[in-house]
Each structure stands twice: as C-alpha cells, then as structure tokens.
Amino acid sequence: MGAILSIGILNAGGRNTTISMETRDGDLKQNAICGLVLFMQHWYWYPMLNFISIALSPTVLIAVDKNLKVPKSFAFTSNAKPTTFQYPELLKKPEIVAKEKLETFTLSTTAKVKARVDRKKGAAGDVEMVEEKPKEEEKKEEVKVEKKEEPEFIVLHNPTRILNP
C-alpha cells in the first residue's frame, strides 16, 4: 500500500505539484497543515487519504496579459540548472533475464562409488577422478559515460513548470 501511495503522491497533479505548508510570504498555511495531520491518520480510516490534496501547491508558471490570454512570445531566463525542472523518471518494469543453464559437476564421492561398483562387477583398469572446472566468465568491457557539463541557466517559455526555491 505504501508503494501505491508514494506513486500517487509523486504523480499528483500530473507531476506538477509539491507539498507545501507555507505561503509565498512565508506564513503557515493552516489548511495544508490540518490536511497533512489528517492524512497521517489514514491507517485508521482510509477516507483520510484524500486530505493530502489540501497541502498540494501547483508548480507551474503561466503568464497572462491584461485580457487574461496566454502570450506565446513570453520567455524568461532562470538561473537554475535545467535538471531542476526535469520530471522524475517513471518507474520501469524490470527486464526478465533468461536463466542460463548450469554446468553439471561430478562429485568426488560419486566417482568413488562408481569405482567401487565397477570393481565389484569385475571391471578392469584404474579409475581416475576428474573434476570439471567451471568456464571462466568473459570479461565485460567497461562502458565509459561522458558527463556533459550542464549550463548554469535555462530560458523558459510560457507556460512552464517551475519549482519552489
């Protein structure tokens, strides 16, 4: 249940919201605090889960003109790195890897028992004990990942996803 809740919280608002208990002025949001306190009691009464939505704040900037229309030419420069505005990666299903066949080994006790049985049947000759050694694994070449230097600023266009500082 915890995993399902965490994915739901991450994906809240199309991944464009954060949990915030303060206003932009730094004052405490009483509704958000009460919503989180009630959410903490969800284990005892599941309808309390919905109260987390009170604490969510949007993380989008939409500039409008005096007619409340969104201008397409509006852009601004942010001094944050571009990775600040990236969405969290979606969870991926693990790939199913085909199981390799294991080599069979002959135990030394098995060889001794087989030699004893052969002696009883009157088989002639010496029996040598042979141990099979596992094949050496092929060495994998290390893949070098080049890290690109990230720019210190980004130009964002209207509307855009932003995060609280």
81-132 pLDDT tens trace: 888 777 777 778 888 777 777 777 777 788 888 888 888 887 555 545 554 4
- The structure tokens 């730094």 sit at 26
Number of Cβ within 10 Å of residue 39's Cβ equals: 19
Q: Decide: 43 and 129 in contact? Cβ < 8 Å.
A: no
Backbone angles phi, psi at 77, to 5 degrees: -100, 125
Threshold 0.75, pTM exceeds: no
